Amino acid sequence: MKSEIIAVGSEMLTPYRQDTNSLFLTEKLNELGVTVNFKTIVGDRRKDLVNAIRGALGRTDIVLIMGGLGPTEDDLTREAAADALSLTLKRDAPLVAALHARAASWRMTMPENNLKQADVIEGATVLTNPNGSAPGQWLDVTFEGYRKILALLPGPPSECKPLFETECLPRLRAAIPQRFIAKRTLKAAMIPESQADKLLAPIYQTYPDVETTILAHNGDIQLTLLCSKNNMEEAQQRVDELASRMEEALEDWLYSSDEESLEQIVLYYLGLRQATLATAESCTGGLVAQRITGIPGSSRSFVGGAVVYSNELKTAFAGVAPELIEKHGAVSEEVARALAEGIRARTGATIGLGVTGIAGPTGGTDDKPVGLVYIAVSDAQLTDVIKRNFRGPRQRVREWTAQQALDLVRRRLM
């Protein structure tokens, strides 16, 4: 079954906003075995909307339209969908009553134009929206001789997503031939994308019935495996078999066989080992601490850290000897080691992490170019220091460095 997602709203045709609901809808449709063949973004112009809806009905079987269901003059999805299908709109008495009741419960008088939201396309099923005033609509119709499913959904993600899950998913499952989809996600850190593909392609190519997607971003690799079969057991078995072969090939690059982030895994191992972590960051400027503290409950294993941008703070907070900085420079193996050992000693944490480097765009020299970083991990037994040269603009160097630092902590904990 083919589908198209239409996102309605002129703001999504500016340079500043993007549709994001469609990513969620795509995931849910794929899990039903439905392909998304097109996504269209169209503004709040009735003629353009009718054109987009007719186009979508002509080329796919299932059309999901998000947005344009509110009470303002710009909200034209109901009218345009009715035009596209040559059907009429009728004001629905129970919906009118519900709108009045909703306004009354807020002690407000309802503006007349709010009643637009009670207009229902002839033959449509009303989809109750508990999170907003505009209901959705579901149509199972014939268009140019073919059966088509058309759903109108509200635009705000907090309304669109629950309405789709509770009202549309069961109807779609009933309407389309049943398929069972098994899914697995593997995650690996710091393996170059080309190396991952060289390692994995010979494996996943022997599973043509499993759709494998590789995504790489700043040192993080995500592998998604999807398999659609007539029964769940068979689909799950194929996905699990491929996953376990890929896990073996990835060796210790692999950090998760589920959807956890690298910082979640680091916190998981810290908890398991009853260990705590403290950080002393220079070039990443708090990026490592920020990723860790983004996870609920991180306070159990993360005691905190220092952002030691100036040389004075490297001394004051991590006890780095000024002579060491003078002799080797702030960006050096020795200072990274002293940062990790010093922050560990100062905070009493089980593990200390030290990061120093040149994020750029300026500050590089022939000896120490932009992108040079040293990362050290220290515990009661030993301190490891690694050196890396990352390329690209400041933010990229910082993000690769933070990813590498977290991965180094993970490897120490394993």
Rounded Cα distance, 90 and 74, in Å: 19
Q: In the window 217-246, what residues touch a copy of itself (CB under 8 A)?
A: 222, 224
d(CA 356, CA 323): 17
Select from 269, 302, 390, 400 the one that contacts a copy of itself (CB under 8 A): 302
Is position 322 an interface residue for a copy of itself (rule: CB under 8 A)?
no
Contacting a copy of itself within 345-364 (CB under 8 A): 346-348, 359-362
Least separation in angstroms between residue 300's CB and a copy of itself is 10
Q: Which is nearer to a copy of itself, 94 or 271 (CB)?
A: 271
Among 8, 32, 34, 41, binds a copy of itself (CB under 8 A): 41
The piece of 50-58, 90-98, 132-140, 235-243 that touches a copy of itself (CB under 8 A) is 50-58
Q: Is the preceding peptide bond at 361 cis, omega within 30 degrees of 0?
A: yes
365 near a copy of itself (CB under 8 A)? no
Is residue 183 close enough to count as binding a copy of itself by CB under 8 A?
A: no
**Of the ranges 101-109, 159-167, 266-274, 313-321, which one interacts with a copy of itself (CB under 8 A)?**
313-321
- Asked if residue 168 binds a copy of itself (CB under 8 A), the reply is no
Binding segment for a copy of itself among 84-92, 160-168, 231-239, 299-307 (CB under 8 A)? 299-307
Nearer to a copy of itself, 171 or 346 (CB): 346
Determine the Cα–Cα distance for residues 353 and 286; give it in Å rounded to an integer. 12
The full DSSP string for 204-246 is HTT-TTEEEEEEEETTEEEEEEEEEESSHHHHHHHHHHHHHHH
DSSP string, 37-55: EEEEEE-S-HHHHHHHHHH
The one segment of 112-120, 129-137, 190-198, 310-318 that binds a copy of itself by CB under 8 A:
310-318
Neighbours of 256 (CB within 10 A): 17
User: Residue 96, Cβ neighbours under 10 Å: how many?
Assistant: 16
d(CA 319, CA 107): 62
Q: Is 103 exposed, middle or buried (0-12, 13-18, 19+ CB in 10 A)?
A: middle
Residue 93: partners with Cβ closer than 8 Å, 6 or more residues away = none
All residues at 6 or more sequence positions from 42 whose CB lies less than 8 Å from its CB, including other chains: 6, 7, 8, 13, 48, 49, 52
If phi > 0 it is left, if psi is from -120 to 50 it is alpha, else beta; for residue 182 that is: beta
- Of 256 and 293, which CB lies nearer to a copy of itself in the complex structure? 293
Q: Residue 128 or 310: which CB sits closer to a copy of itself?
A: 310
Task: State in angstroms the smallest separation of the CB of 267 from a copy of itself.
Answer: 12
Q: Tell me if 17 contacts a copy of itself by CB under 8 A.
A: yes
What's the min distance (Å) between Cβ of 292 and a copy of itself?
7
259 lies in the site for a copy of itself, by CB under 8 A: no
Does 305 help bind a copy of itself (rule: CB under 8 A)?
A: yes
Closest distance between a copy of itself and the C-beta of residue 357, in Å?
A: 12
Region of 25-33, 93-101, 103-111, 192-200 interacting with a copy of itself (CB under 8 A): 25-33
Q: List the one residue from 209, 251, 312, 326 that touches a copy of itself (CB under 8 A).
A: 312
DSSP 8-class letter at 312: H
Please name which of 297, 334, 287, 294 lies closest in space to residue 314, comparing C-alpha atoms: 334
Q: Measuring CA to CA, which residue among 23, 24, 27, 55 is closest to residue 42?
A: 55
CB of 214 to a copy of itself, least distance (A): 10
Binding of a copy of itself at residue 57 (CB under 8 A)? Answer: no
Identify which of residues 15 and 208 has a Cβ nearer to a copy of itself in the complex.
15
Q: Which of 121, 225, 292, 335 binds a copy of itself (CB under 8 A)?
A: 292
Sign for the pseudo-dihedral over CA of 284, 265, 28, 82: negative
Q: How far is the CB of 207 from a copy of itself (least distance, A)?
A: 18
Q: For residue 306, report the phi and psi dihedrals to the nearest 5 degrees.
A: -130, 140
